[in-house]
Amino acid sequence: MISQLRLYSDGMAGRPATKAAPPFGAKLAELRKLRGLTQPQLAGELGVSLDMLIYYERRATNPSADFVKQAATFFNVSADELLGHAVQTKRKSGPPSVLEQRLAAVRQLPREKQKLVLQVLDTFLRDAQQAKA
């Protein structure tokens, strides 16, 4: 019993996980550890039971929106970041570059014509690589 209490007080409640945590749980655990918090401490901060926090860190694939929002606020991160979604970088302002404009025009072509453009581009790029070598 004392050894179990020691495990809980060290923030290592329960037995070790046998499979990888879902992205949300892995990120939650990572942020908790970066803050130097144990599982019981974070459970107290977020107002959930220790068992619920362990569930969120190890098994939850669909955490409640309220919990995600609360945890994101606590850790000062976006909900997307906490859920493991790729964070998009801001695009530069202004009109698209000439290359982006050309690529958009190629996307509008029929598939067969796109293939021809790609063959020409591939040939040009291959020749450029060989010239470097």
Boundaries of every domain in the chain: 2-82, 98-132
Does pTM top 0.75 for this prediction?
A: no
Consecutive H or E run containing 14: none
> Taking CA 21 as the corner, what is the angle to CA 80 and CA 72, rounded to the nearest 5 degrees?
30
Tokens of 100: 């982006």
Token match 């107290």: residue?
44
Per the CB < 8 A criterion, the answer to whether 104 and 110 are in contact is no
Each residue's pLDDT tens digit, 59-103: 888 888 999 999 989 988 888 888 877 655 556 677 778 888 888
Which CATH code, of 2.40.50.140, 3.40.50.300, 1.10.260.40, 3.30.470.10, is assigned to 2-82? 1.10.260.40
Distance in angstroms (rounded) separating the CA atoms of residues 88 and 26: 20
Q: Nearest Cα to 27, choosing from 67, 71, 62?
A: 71
- DSSP for residue 36: T
Percent of the chain with pLDDT over 90: 23
Q: Nearest Cα to 13, choosing from 35, 43, 47, 34?
A: 43
